[in-house]
Amino acid sequence: MSGPHWMLRLRERLWGLPPWDAGRIGDEWFRAHFFHAADLVAQWLGGALRLPTARLLNFGCGDGITDLALVLRHGATAIHGVDIRREYAKLPRIAREQLGLARLPAALTFETIAPGAPLAGRHAGVDGIVSWSTFEHVARAQLPPILRDLHACLRPGGVFFLQIEPLFHSPWGSHLRRYDDVPWHHLLASEDELWQAMEAYQGELQPDEVDFGFADFGPEGYKRWVFSEYQALNRLTADELVDLAVRAGFTVRRQERRQVDLPIPEALLGRYPEELLRNNEILLLLGKD
Ligand SMILES: C[S@@+](CC[C@H](N)C(=O)[O-])C[C@H]1O[C@@H](n2cnc3c(N)ncnc32)[C@H](O)[C@@H]1O
């Protein structure tokens, strides 16, 4: 950072954003967020508000790559990212390495919060909220208060784009596919068996599934961390999510549920509805009247 935030804003107003080059991108996690995630967010939010003038909040922003792309590629000018971790602190370095970007745009601000900490007192009146692959990680008991708080953050007429993928009951809903490719294995095997399968895996990891936390943990530490994330999943279904959102005061303006077309193991057919087992993604546009 060079100088206070208002100076950065002024500098950008006068001379524009620092140059960047997507041709330098070598990391597949970065690419997936800089293009796929950001494009979907822009499509869904952009249909309901103007990104260049909207004040946005990203709940569970992670490393902030998607937010950076919303600014650089989709013209957003104000995004505040909140998260219980500080992965976003790596963004200046990541953006330098992957894009040759000298400094982050003034449009981006980030904040670490305690899980469930209310935001509406400090972030009321926002035009749009984004949450990408985050709500499946929030502790169940915190879901209703967090959704009510996010509803209170939005201005009337504002929208909230919420995405979850993979949903828990889908083939790789465990989020363990990096190590265990067997579809629905988490619904078929015990926790011990799952961990044994993870421990035994010594192959390469799919590059677009390896986030920038990998370097902090190392190969074995990353395995343990990914497994603990699996254990903490709230196992939310798409129906439950919609129900919770409506109870928090939102209206559903648009929704899409994506399905995986795979033969379902015999052992699961009687235990869960087929639709639940196939539904791996939900995209929701929630509104505040
Ligand atoms: C799978 S990551 C997704 C991060 C980012 N949205 C992305 O697409 O890369 C889930 C994120 O949710 C965050 N998270 C989990 N529980 C949270 C909570 N209660 N409040 C805010 N963030 C939370 C985690 O720290 C993590 O960064």
Buried b (16+ CB within 10 A) or exposed e, 205-217: beeeebbbbbeee
134 CB within 6 A, ligand 1: yes
Packing angle, helices 65-72 and 91-99, rounded to 10: 50
pLDDT at 7: 87
133 CB within 6 A, ligand 1: yes
pLDDT band at 1 (very low <50, low <70, confident <90, very high): very low
- Rounded to the nearest whole angstrom, what is the distance from the C-alpha of residue 53 to the centroid of ligand 1? 25
Closest residue CA from atom 5 of ligand 1: 62
Question: Is residue 4 reached through a cis peptide bond, with omega within 30 degrees of 0 on the bond before it?
Answer: no
Contact in structure between 40 and 95 (CB atoms under 8 Å): no
pLDDT at 111: 98
pLDDT at 272: 98
pLDDT at 9: 87
Q: pLDDT for 255-283, tens place per residue? A: 999 999 999 999 999 999 999 999 999 99
The CATH homologous superfamily to which domain 5-168+236-287 belongs is Vaccinia Virus protein VP39 (3.40.50.150)
pLDDT band at 206 (very low <50, low <70, confident <90, very high): confident
Taking 90 as the threshold, does the pLDDT of residue 2 lie above it? Answer: no
Closest residue CA from atom 17 of ligand 1: 138
Domain-by-domain residue ranges, the chain? Answer: 5-168+236-287, 185-232
Mean pLDDT score, 226-234: 97
Q: What percentage of the chain reaches a pLDDT higher than 70?
A: 99
